[in-house]
């Protein structure tokens, strides 16, 4: 969830049972702390006491709402395209001496259409501003527990794709549980493992953020640290684990070691197993000191799987036809390759099923406490 003016990135936990916000925004301006039955989320607060709240539900919050929010990065990008176009068009129409260019550029046919189109552009910008946040990003009403009995009103907030903040699922898992946990985390990213010129392992920044680091910087030759959580760096609040003992470096080392053969990445499964400790995370109400045993499985090419394939057409698609249906396999673009066909999905599913089967004993031993 994010405010109309800023993006404090507060994780919203939505399940079939309940929906709510456990933590608070980085600057503390928006405070959660509870959840309600999912159909009643996004309700209007009427009145109440500290024990009871009366709300009005104009429509039930449902699966289609959470699905829309999870794809809201498209709305955000579309919003930016629209606003950039309006900015550019406004500058164009402020230069009436270039009427011939305007007629050609905007296909206006005749000069007398210029004032009419200019007025429509001005009205469109006004309508978007009046509706807030360009009216493209999903918006819902929200009221915190502290609003009950304090005459606070429900406020409208924008809801964005949680994957832009934390995409492994571990933050949501930790936010909805207590105590020590065990987890298997599949890092389904667009970036395959690679090595920098200084031999640093380059991995997707959804991993580095969990340990308090930004994405790899080629200019600096390292992963810059956020130096703790700060409201001026909202993404720093994606940190879940302590790095006091070099846990992030150990994770990169294990991924590279398991993936490599003859010092070449991409031969075997890129996986790692770690014992981690949580840090205090206020945006998800996660407490420090929880033990998390996790097996990481990183999405990157696996030659030992591919070399077992005998189907000639599939081999050709994987090795020679990267502009076809398996373009970027297995690191499909989640933005430009949103509509994958059955073939592309099934090949990726087969790879992941094979990986799980190969790691079967490792996973079961962890879950059984061996």
Max avg pLDDT among 42-46, 166-170, 180-184, 366-370: 180-184
pLDDT in the model for residue 269:
98
Neighbours of 253 (CB within 10 A): 13
Q: What is the mean pLDDT of residues 232-244?
A: 93
**For the whole model, what pTM was predicted?**
0.81
Q: What is the mean pLDDT of residues 240-253?
A: 98
pLDDT in the model for residue 359:
98
How far is residue 55's CA from residue 57's CA, in Å, rounded to a whole number? 7
Percent of the chain clearing pLDDT 70 (strictly above): 90
pLDDT tens, 154-202?
888 888 777 778 989 999 999 989 999 999 999 999 999 999 999 999 9
Q: Which residues does residue 156 pair with via DSSP β-bridges, in sequence order?
A: 141
How is the chain split into domains, by residue range? 1-165, 166-367
Residue 20 tokens read as 């709510």
Neighbours of 32 (CB within 10 A): 23
Give start and end residues of each alpha helix (H) in 71-223.
72-93, 99-105, 114-131, 170-175, 205-208
pLDDT in the model for residue 163:
78
Confidence of residue 254 (pLDDT cuts 50, 70, 90): very high
21 closest CA partner among 8, 37, 33, 9: 33
Whether residue 101 is predicted with pLDDT greater than 80 in this model: the reply is: no
How far is residue 275's CA from residue 291's CA, in Å, rounded to a whole number? 7
Give the burial class of 64: count Cβ atoms within 10 A of its Cβ; 0-12 exposed, 13-18 middle, 19 or more buried: exposed
pLDDT tens, 52-98?
888 999 889 999 888 878 766 666 666 667 777 777 887 777 776 66
Strands laid side by side in the 181-187 sheet: 181-187, 291-298, 270-277
How far is residue 110's CA from residue 103's CA, in Å, rounded to a whole number? 6
Pairing of strands 291-298, 181-187: parallel
- Classify 316 as helix, strand or coil: helix
Q: Between residues 34 and 266, which one has the greater pLDDT?
A: 266
pLDDT tens, 283-317?
999 999 999 999 999 999 999 999 999 999 999 99
* Average pLDDT taken over every residue of the chain: 87
Distances (CA, A) of 40 to 45, 140, 325, 359, 360: 11, 12, 42, 41, 41
pLDDT tens, 5-32?
555 578 888 888 999 998 998 888 888 8
Distances (CA, A) of 318 to 112, 225, 326: 56, 37, 7
Q: What is the mean pLDDT of residues 254-270?
A: 96
pLDDT in the model for residue 134:
53
**Exposure string over 292-313, b if 16+ CB within 10 A, otherwise e:** bbbbbbbbbbbeebbeeeeeee
How far is residue 278's CA from residue 181's CA, in Å, rounded to a whole number? 11
pLDDT in the model for residue 177:
92
């Amino acid at each position: 969830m994010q405010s109309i003016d800023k993006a404090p990135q507060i994780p919203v936990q939505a399940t079939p049972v309940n929906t709510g916000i456990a933590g608070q925004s980085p600057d503390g301006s928006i405070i959660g702390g509870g959840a309600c039955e999912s159909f009643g989320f996004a309700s209007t607060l009427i009145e109440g006491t500290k024990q009871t709240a009366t709300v009005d539900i104009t429509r039930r919050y449902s699966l289609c709402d959470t699905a829309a929010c999870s794809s809201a990065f498209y709305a955000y990008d579309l919003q930016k395209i629209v606003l950039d176009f309006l900015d550019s068009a406004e500058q164009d129409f402020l230069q009436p001496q270039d009427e011939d260019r305007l007629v050609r550029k905007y296909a206006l046919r005749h000069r007398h259409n210029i004032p009419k189109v200019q007025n429509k552009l001005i009205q469109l910008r006004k309508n978007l501003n009046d509706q807030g946040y360009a009216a493209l990003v999903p918006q819902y009403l929200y009221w915190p527990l502290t609003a009950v009995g304090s005459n606070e009103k429900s406020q409208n907030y924008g809801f964005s794709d949680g994957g832009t903040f934390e995409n492994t699922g571990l933050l949501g898992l930790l936010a909805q549980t207590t105590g020590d946990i065990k987890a298997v985390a599949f890092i389904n990213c667009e970036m395959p493992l690679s090595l920098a010129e200084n031999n640093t392992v380059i991995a997707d920044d959804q991993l580095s953020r969990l340990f308090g680091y930004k994405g790899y910087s080629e200019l600096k030759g390292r992963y810059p640290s956020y130096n703790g959580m700060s409201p001026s760096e909202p993404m720093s609040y994606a940190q879940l684990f302590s790095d006091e003992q070099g846990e992030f470096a150990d994770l990169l080392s294990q991924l590279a070691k398991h993936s490599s053969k003859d010092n070449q990445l991409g031969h075997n499964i890129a996986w790692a197993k770690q014992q981690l400790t949580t840090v205090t995370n206020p945006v998800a109400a996660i407490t420090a000191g929880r033990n998390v045993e996790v097996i990481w499985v990183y999405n990157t090419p696996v030659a030992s799987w591919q070399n077992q394939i005998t189907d000639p057409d599939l081999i050709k698609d994987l090795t020679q036809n990267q502009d076809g249906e398996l373009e970027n396999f297995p690191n499909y673009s989640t933005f430009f390759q949103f509509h994958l066909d059955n073939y592309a999905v099934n090949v990726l599913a087969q790879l992941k099923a094979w990986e799980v089967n190969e790691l079967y004993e490792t996973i079961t031993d962890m879950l059984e406490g061996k």
